[in-house]
Amino acid sequence: MSRKRVQITSNGASESETAAIVAAVEQFLADTAPPPADERAAISPWARAALEEGIAARQLHGDAWGHAPRPR
């Protein structure tokens, strides 16, 4: 997660006032940040379907894609 740092430099505010402002801004940023991206959404539905089909096909036929056929 990328974390931004908020810093205020001011001659007119006390240290406690500045800290309160920074805390409020950081809380606002945390509250309004977009939700983290779903890891499962990284692969397209088409690619997921192809992978699932390939896995299902391999479970049905053990001699697919480079595996030697079973001796008979």
Hey, how many other C-beta atoms are within 10 angstroms of the C-beta on 58? Answer: 13
**Cα–Cα distance measured from residue 52 to residue 59, given in angstroms and rounded to the nearest whole number:** 11
Mean pLDDT, range 8-31, rounded to an integer: 84
Domains of the chain: which residue ranges? 1-36, 38-72
**Cα–Cα distance measured from residue 62 to residue 55, given in angstroms and rounded to the nearest whole number:** 11
pLDDT digits (tens, 9 = 90+) for 32-56: 988 887 766 678 888 888 888 877 7
Phi-psi region of 69 (alpha: psi -120 to 50; beta: other; left: phi over 0): beta
Percentage of the chain modeled with pLDDT above 70: 61
DSSP 44: -
